Amino acid sequence: MRPWDGIISEDEQKAYRAAGFGRAQGMGARPALLIIDIQYRTIGTQPRPFWDSVKEFPTSCGEIGWAAMGKVVPLLDCFRRKGFPVLYPHVAPKVAGEGGRLAEKVPAIMTIPAKGYEFPPEIAPHPGDALIPKKHPSAFFGTAMVSHLIDLNVDTLVMTGCTTSGCVRASAVDAFAYNFKVVVPEDAVYDRSRVSHCVNLFDMAEKYADVMPAAEVLKKIEALPPRVPARAAE
């Protein structure tokens, strides 16, 4: 049973299979973990139902965000133990005059209070983690992300955070185009619409990424030998 069953009909799933979509890429040997936009502004300062949580931050997804963060924690712990890199693409506070198309399309996003930009301690960065401030949906657009990943000699990106239909999806499409293997743990990403969440998981599974439960990703990462820093050889 996949998250999109019952939303995408069997017939339409067959149509994608006929076009040859949906094969697995498999996991590489040098993964990095991306924690995308898990900040108080997307989950609230406490787990609350959606309609309560948006009163604190209009951009919050509420308690489903907290549930997904709960699935990120063991992944993060495993990446740290193995010495695999962890990167934090995140939204930096907006500055007047830099709104562009975003300010027209989603004006509320320009006025989030500073607390909203903080990381919850459960998944907060450690010294040495790469912080990637971004202004656009994709973690790659207008950022040093690719340069970091080349420096770190990464071949696989495990993408967690939010929203499934927004920054996670946009980052997965770019990562795929850059020829990274992309893995999306389906219960460690979240969105304010369940249907859009599920259909975006379907789209990514068919075209850009391997999509599976976080527990399964965890098992695959645990099975990998720990990281030997690439630059030590010289």
Stretch 75-134 residues interacting with a second copy (CB under 8 A): 95-98, 100-102, 104-109, 127-131
User: What's the min distance (Å) between Cβ of 123 and a second copy?
Assistant: 18
Q: Show the tokens assigned to 134.
A: 């971004």
Instruction: Name which of residues 20 to 79 contact a second copy (CB under 8 A).
Output: 20-29, 50-51, 54, 58-60
Shortest spacing between CB 187 and a second copy, in angstroms: 19
CA distance 118 to 25: 34
Binding status of residue 223 toward a second copy by CB under 8 A: no
Using CB under 8 A, which of the segments 74-82, 113-121, 174-182, 211-219 binds a second copy? 174-182
**Phi-psi map region of 157: left, alpha, beta (phi>0 left; psi -120 to 50 alpha):** beta
Residues 199-218 that bind a second copy (CB under 8 A): 199-200, 202-203, 207-208
Q: How far is the CB of 205 from a second copy (least distance, A)?
A: 10
Burial class of residue 110 (count of CB atoms within 10 Å of its CB; 0-12, 13-18, 19+): middle
CB within 8 Å of 32: residues ≥ 6 apart: 79, 84, 85, 86, 87, 149, 152, 154, 156, 157, 158
